[in-house]
Each structure stands twice: as C-alpha cells, then as structure tokens.
Structure 1
Amino acid sequence: MSRIEVPAGPIDYQDTGGDGPALVFTHGFPMNHLQWRKVIPLLDDQFRCIAPTLPMGAHRSPMKPGTDLTHRGQVAILADFLDALDVDDVTLVMNDWGGAQFIVSENLDRRVGRLVFVACEAFDNFPPPQARPAELLCRVPGGARLLMQLLRTSFFRHNRRAWGAVSRTRIPDDVLDTWFDPARLDPAIRRDLRAFATGTPPAKTLLEWSESLRGFTKPALVVWANQDAMMPQDHGRRLADLLPDAHLIEIEDSGTLIPEDQPAHLAAALRTFLHS
C-alpha cells in the first residue's frame, strides 16, 4: 500500500503503476481497496489500476478534525487525491457507494474521462433501505461503537438479512476484518465513520445532484446486477437513459458486490468499454 497526503489527511491506496490508462476504483461503506481484489489482477496487464481507501470507516489513519466527510466532502477528497497523483483522463469506477458520481455535480470532474456505475447507489437510494438501520444507529450516542461490535458476529457479517445482503458470495472473514476493525478499534476512525454515515442530504438534494449527470457527455458504462437486493433494478436503466453517452450491461447471478460475485464478467465488460 502507498500513502499520499491531501488537505483532509492521509489517503492509503493501491497502485499497480504502468503507462496504461488509469482506472480509479472507489468502494462501499465501510470497505476498502480489497473490494476490488478479484478484479484488478484481471486488468492490470493493460491498465493502471488505482484503488484508494476513502475515509468511510475502513481507513487506517483518521482525517483532520472538522473535515467534511459527507458525500460532498468525500468527492472533494477524491478530487484532491486525483490532483495529488496528477492523473488525467481517468476512468472512475464505483460500486456500492454511488456518491463518487457527485464529482460531476460539484464540478470537480476535470480529471475524469469516463464514468462506470457498478450496482451502486443512485437517485434517492442513499443509503439503500437495508442500510438505513445502521445509519439511524450511528445517530445515537454510542451507536457507531455498537454497530462495529455487532459486525464482529457471524450473523451480522454473513446473513442475507444483515450485511450478507451485499453479496451472494460469502466474503472471507479476513477481508471483513480489514473493513470493520479500524472503526471498531479506533475512536477517531469511528468518528469519521459516523460523520459519513449521518451526512446524507435530503432526497430532494440527491435528485438535484443526479440531474447534473445529464451534462456529463463523456462515455459512461452502467453495469447492474439482476439479483441485487439493495439497488433497484430500474435504476440501471434510469442511469443509462440519464447519461448522454451511456451503455447498460446486466450481470446474471450477482448481488450488489459484482466485483465479489462476478469479477471475470465485470473485468470483461470494463475491457470492452475501454477498448471501444
């Protein structure tokens, strides 16, 4: 892992390097670069794959006190990260957390050449209904700590009625440990997690931000899962219709975490999109 400083604080990231076109992969809440551990090895022969860990609760060092860690703040950190790496014409790939798309509404997308939406939050589905109890718990004093303790148990990690809803594949516990342990063990990381989890704006604002995608005229790819319990099935088509230059692909036998359930199909879709 590499580390770079941005105004908000240190950002850890994986970077395969090379001279190929740059793909920047964002992650869900609270996840990290390991969300893409099955996909990046299928692409790094031709592409520079960069996977930062944004401050959503799985990061290893806390951000500076007072940093805006809402969706708007996260895309500002993402834009600062791209500036710090000095990469241009990047393909920004998002999965689960869809807030990276707001880099467009915030007019911070000058380094973005393409957008890829992979079974992610969209429109007013921030967060999906299954994640809203966790958001509400984080609003209660001590709630974020309780949430992270619950995520130590097998039921909350793997049951389809709890965290297990994100994937049809059982995610290894050692991966889940890297997602959940930072906020469980460090009160400052837990503070950052709480700031993100409770920072979602009203639905009206989210829909206004979504409308800005009509002005993104560069190529876009929408990859949606046909058995996703969290991201509505019609949102993939709505996104493809909203974006001026978008193509929609539907993936069979997958939940939200397509990189976990169908990494080969996702990597093939990305290759075809980028070569076209």
Structure 2
Amino acid sequence: MGISSALGPAHEIALSSGRIRYHDTGTGSPVVFVHGLLVNADLWRGVVPGLAAAGHRCLTPDWPLGSHSIPVPAADLSPTGLADLIAEFLDALDLTDVTIVANDTGGALTQILMTRRPERIGRVVLAAVDCYETFPPRPFADLLKVAKVPGVIRPLLAPMRFRFIQRLPLGFGLVTKHDLPQDIAQSYLRPARRSAAIRDDLRRFAAGVDKRFTSAAAARFAEVDLPVLVVWSTEDKLFPMTLAERLVTDLPRATLRTIDNSYTFIPEDRPELLTELIVEFTRLHAAP
C-alpha cells in the first residue's frame, strides 16, 4: 500500500509477470529495499528519509508477499521466482551498484538473489533474516502450512483488525517489541483481508516456502564477492544470534553489528540506528 509520504512518490512498473508498485525518493547511489511476509514498503518509512538525506536514491517496492496492492496472478511466487522478480526490477530500472537492504523473509529472497543474480548488486544489508534451516522460523511454520489451504487466509486474518490480537505471538508480538501505529498495522493487514486475489498470491507464496531454498543459497556463500552487513537484534525472538554468526563466518566479506531494544522488525523498532549503520556501511564500501 505504501501509505507513508516519507517514502516519496508512488510509481508502477510493468514486469514480465505483472505490475509492481514502488516508491522512489532521493538522488545518488540506489538503495532497494526488500521487506518480508505480510508487510509492505511502509516498513521502511523510518529508514528512507535518513538515507535519502545521506545521498541515496531509495526505492521501496511492495513485493507480492501478502500486503501488496496489485495482484500478480501470473507471477512465479516461489522463492527463486521472487528473487528473479527482484533482479528483473533492477534490470527494468537499469540500477547498478545497488545496495540491497533486506529484513525477515526478504533476507531469504536476497540470499537467493545474491547467489543467483548478483551482477547489479554492490553491497547487501541483511537485517534479522531467514537463513539456513530457518525458513520459515519455527513459530510460523505451522501457520504457513495452514495458509496453503484455499479459503483459510481470510478467517485467519480477520481478528487481526483488533489491536490486542495484533500483539499476540502469531500477530506482530514476536516481531515487534513496540506497538505498531494502527494506520501502519492496517496498511500491512488490509490488502489480504479485502482482496481474494491478494490472498491467492499469499497462498501461492506460502506453498513454496522451504528451507531447501535458503540451504541451497548458503551452499554458494563462498562465491559471494560482495560486502555484506549483518544486523541482528540481541533480543530477537525468531532468529537466534547463532544464525548471524554463521552468516558472518560463511560470507567472505561480511561483518556483524548488533542492536538492542528490538525484535525481528528492526526497521520498526530501531529505524534511526539501522539508518546510521546502513549509512556507515555504504560509505565504507562506496564504489571507487
């Protein structure tokens, strides 16, 4: 939905399997953001202004992960299909030396992208992400299995319009330490509640989530010649710090920074600090 004015003007781009809505603001070296499941571009509303002020062009697409506004019934929504969709987005806008910033499920897609279509990428930020055998993370694995069944998603999401339900573990309680503003929570939840076509996209994605995709990407990490910043919360409820340590060990040019007072959705809980870390990283690894 991308309701936040902080993201800049909204645009649409026609790709081979459908249209993608994205926001674009700032000038300079491009940063493309990859959010996770059941959120959209609004996740980055606290990060984009600081990066734009630091001299970056910030592009925040609504990827078809359940909170998007334009259905993509013809798209391959398997993890590799989505990674290829991200690569096609970069191609279509002729973006080069791109910084990819990913969170949660978007990090799994980005790892596939890094090992499959790295040619337009200059550097990567993985901020609390699915990886290795943790795709999906355990608390949500059963939920995604249920979501594969046609007709189930709407009744699952219906109670989420209530704030107290949103704070439960299978709402946003495990991923955000602090309450979401209600307009943002509804931006994330409304598309799949209201649109059968969006729910079908979400169901097709849920059907394809499997650790074999992240494990296959990890098997190629030694080939990744890109600077990677791994950002992890010390209080993360889904992704233990051991996963971050494995990423830094296995990716040849990776470094780790930790954040307190946050769960998995670091762009929600600590956007200012995440922005500072990204700016520091992009300056350290700027193109010559």
Normalized against structure 2, the TM-score is what?
A: 0.90
1:269 is matched with: 277
The residue aligned with 1:103 is 113
Q: Number of paired residues?
A: 272
Of residues 168, 176, 193, the one that matches 1:159 is: 168
* C-alpha distance after superposition, 1:51-86 (max 9, x if no partner): 111111111111133x21011111111111111111
Amino acid at match of 1:196: F
Residues 1:22 and 2:30 are matched in the alignment: yes
- Note the C-alpha offset of 1:205: 4.5
Give yes or no for contact 2:96–2:120 (8 Å, CA) kept in 1.
Answer: yes
Q: CA deviation at 1:210?
A: 1.4
CA distance in 1, matches of 2:36, 2:238: 13
Separation in structure 1 between the aligned mates of residue 260 and residue 100 of structure 2, nearest angstrom: 23
Q: Return the offset for 1:156.
A: 3.1
1:82 aligned residue (90, 94, 107): 90
Structure 2 stretches lacking a partner, 5+ long: 1-9
Measured in 2, the distance between the counterparts of 1:228 and 1:84 equals 35
C-alpha distance in 1 between matches for 2:42 and 2:231: 19
Q: Deviations over 1:94-114 (max 9, x none)?
A: 011122210123x21211111
Q: Give the TM-score taking structure 1 as reference length.
A: 0.94
Question: How many percent of aligned residue pairs carry the same amino acid?
Answer: 36
Per-residue displacement from partner, 1:21-44 (whole Å, max 9, x unpaired)?
111111011111110101111110
Q: CA deviation at 1:233?
A: 1.5
Residues 1:161 and 1:61: Cα distance change in structure 2 (over 3 Å): closer
1:134: how far off? 2.1
> Which residue number in structure 2 is paired with residue 208 of structure 1?
216
Q: For the residues of structure 1 that align with 2:120 and 2:164, how far apart are their CA atoms?
A: 41
> 4+ residue runs of structure 1 moved beyond 6 angstroms?
none
CA distance in 2, matches of 1:255, 1:238: 19
C-alpha distance in 2, partners of 1:155/1:141?
27
Per-residue deviation, residues 208-255 of structure 1 (Å, max 9, x unmatched): 221212211121110010000011211111101111111110111110
Give the aligned residue type for 2:48: I
